[in-house]
Amino acid sequence: MRIIVLGGPGAGKGTRASLVAEHFGVPHISTGDIFRANLKAGTQLGLEAKKYMEAGQLVPDELTVKLLFDRVAQDDCQGGYILDGFPRTINQAQLLESELVKMGVNIDYVINVEVPDQRIIERMSGRRTCSDCGIPYHIEYAPTAAEGVCDKCGGEVVMRSDDAPETVMGRLTVYHNETSPLIEFYESRGSLKNVNGDVEIEDALSYILKVLE
């Protein structure tokens, strides 16, 4: 079972990817995790990616795909995997598709987590993080017992700059310009499944499984 999970920033694609991966007993893979693992291990591909990252540049798509396929070649991926946050652009999708064709395999499903932009802004702007221990909170879904004070360490709980409404709107603009065209790309291949990302998280997996039937 090979599945891609798409969705805007804050749509909950990572949570859903984890749920689906656990259900099917396959790895949940994100490019961020791959980069961190290769950097920590000091692999040749990791060191090559590090050069771009230290220069403040984006890691080239071709190198990202190499890192990805190095990961999916591992034994735990033989039964499939869930890709979270990749591909992000049409070029990445085409590179991914080309490599999969060489391997004689294909993506079974592409799950597109749909959440209205305004709802995403509301969700993300409600996030808070302890400035001392890093524990995440949410003013609506997971508030602190005392406003602005971490339940665990007593540190100040603040909004990260990444979660400010103006920042989120900027990320959504990038998403719509660069990533949302993937919806039509995969729809044309018959693998796209749209799912409502604004359901209770305890219902998310059963909802996705019904869509995949």
Q: Answer yes or no: pTM beyond 0.85.
A: yes
What digits encode the pLDDT tens for the residues 94-124? 999 999 999 999 999 999 999 999 999 998 9
What digits encode the pLDDT tens for the residues 109-163? 999 999 999 999 998 999 999 999 999 999 988 999 999 999 999 999 999 988 8
160 classed as catalytic = yes
What digits encode the pLDDT tens for the residues 34-75? 999 999 999 999 999 999 988 988 899 999 999 999 999 999
**DSSP at 107:** -
Catalytic residue selected from 2, 13, 16, 71? 13
13 classed as catalytic = yes
Q: Can you tell me the mean pLDDT for 22-29?
A: 96
pLDDT value at position 32?
87
How far, in whole angstroms, is CA 102 from its chain's centroid?
25
Q: Which domains does the chain have, with CATH numbers?
A: 2-26+79-212 (3.40.50.300)
- List CB contacts of 147: < 8 A, sequence separation 6 or more: none
36 classed as catalytic = no
pLDDT value at position 34?
94
